[in-house]
Amino acid sequence: MPRPRTHDPDLVLDAAEDLAVASGPAAVTIRAVAAATGVSNGALYHTFSSRAELVARTWIRAAHRFLTLQAEMVADAADPVDAVLAAAQAPAEFAARHPASTQLFFRVRRTDLLGDDLPETVHAEVAATQTTLIELMKTLSRRLWGRADAAAVDTVTLCLVDLPTAILLDRDRLTNPIARQQLRAAVHAVLDLGPAPHRTP
């Protein structure tokens, strides 16, 4: 029988992630994760108050991994346009580094993973991931055009969310080099047009 390794929470989250990606969120149960890791049911419940929290924290880890990588790629960019291009291509780089986390974060619907029966602290962590992405888009918008109104942020959202989803994710082309070139071209085109004129109240 495998020796329990409660000191390594990533072992547990890896198992939950693999189960969710291979067989769907319903496959992630305390019993299944215990069987996959050798960690006892009791130890799992001690660390994660419920199955729902275990699943949520698995998603949160994937989200943090992606957002951290995206922020690093933006920080390494030479100028604001390169920063948007880097952020847009983060899903492809993420897939190369964390394939299972990519499948969980981008392929499994968040509503299938995250229920209402979560501790408030976990709900807050989930909400914080969305806030992080929004703040990145506002920052990039200000760097590009000196503004972060709705029209400007919507243009950056198109580059960071809509285009990568349509070109890379929905068509399963994360590893396709031509698709990445097409994404760059599409992002350049959107940035060349820029946002709608700012409306003065």
**CATH number, domain at 22?**
1.10.10
Same-domain pairing of 119 and 28: no
Q: How many domains does the chain have?
A: 2
Residue 54 in any domain: the answer is no
Whether 9 shows a pLDDT value over 90: the answer reads no
- Of these ranges, 5-19, 40-54, 140-154, 187-201, the one predicted with the greatest mean pLDDT is 140-154
Same domain, 94 and 160: yes
SS3 of the chain: helix, strand, coil, percent, to 5 = 75, 0, 25
198 inside domain:
no
Residue 186 falls within a domain, yes or no?
A: yes
Residue 122 has a pLDDT of 85
Cβ neighbours around 185 below 10 Å, total: 11
| Any domain includes 55 | no
CA distance 114 to 19: 15
- Segments forming the whole domain that contains residue 23: 1-48
